[in-house]
Amino acid sequence: MSSGGEPLVAARVDASIGEVGLNNGPLNLVTRDLLHAFNAVLTELAGREDVRCVIVHGGQGRAFCAGSDIKEFAGLRSNASERKILFEDMVLRQLASLPMPTIAAIDAPAFGGGLELALACDLRVCRPDVVLGLTESRLGGLAGNGSVRLARLIGPSRAKELLFTGETVTGEQAIAWGLVNRLARGGSALQAARELAATIVARGPLSNRLAKKLVDSALDMPLDAALSQSTVAQQQIFESDDLHEGVDAFFAKRPPKFSGK
């Protein structure tokens, strides 16, 4: 629970969109308690067929997430993997492996572990003036999980520049580099993420889940193995009720009513 007695992570589902808001003080620091609360929410969402998109946001904080609470670093040396690293990485993997599309709505700074959290989402939406960075090297630290995800997203050269210098970029630079997908120029990133999520949930949910799986496989598997997986996925689509509902709706000139089956 937060210092105000409220949950450290607030979750709700509305119209097939799940929203997960961090609620750990003004900076939304990553603590052991926050990670446990976040992991519990992710576990619940992972099994829900009715949730077709998930948005992660920083709630009312002054930061989307300003990274790890360095007060917890005291005494962490040879036991760091056991007490921090492995569980934190597991939570980020759990976020990345949610079966439905995920969006990070970044209305305030995202530093260190906060940006790592956003990088574990499928898509990122932020305001043009928001500042982002993997700033761990300023403290002699390392963004382990984030180093890998950032390199895959924006390429090794730019990733190394951000990691080596600990410098930050604004949303404007982030979109030019492909670090974020969309900029919220006329309002909040959360509202823009909700609009994007509404578009996503209007599409075939089975199609989106399989598309996510195939895109991730494109990065992780040899080409032939990934293409074989795509053949299996396409067969699943043709056997689904959703595809035939979509075709019927097209000819009837009405919105489709997808069931996810």
Among candidate residues 72, 88, 116, 161, the one labeled active-site is 116
Full strand arrangement of the beta sheet holding 169-170: 110-111, 131-133, 169-170
Catalytic site residue 116?
A: yes
In the beta sheet, which residues pair with residue 255? none
Which of helix, strand or coil describes residue 1? coil
User: From CA 9, how far away is CA 200, in angstroms rounded?
Assistant: 24
d(CA 171, CA 202): 27
Instruction: Give φ, ψ of 43 to 5 degrees.
Output: -60, -40
Query: Which residue of the set 136, 161, 172, 195 is catalytic?
Result: 136
- Angle among Cα 195, 199, 202 to the nearest 5 degrees reads 135
Asked if 136 is an active-site residue, the reply is: yes
Residue pair 169/179 in contact (Cβ under 8 Å)? The answer is yes
Distance, in Å, from the CA atom of 191 to the CA atom of 44, rounded to the nearest integer, reads 24
Catalytic residues: 116, 136
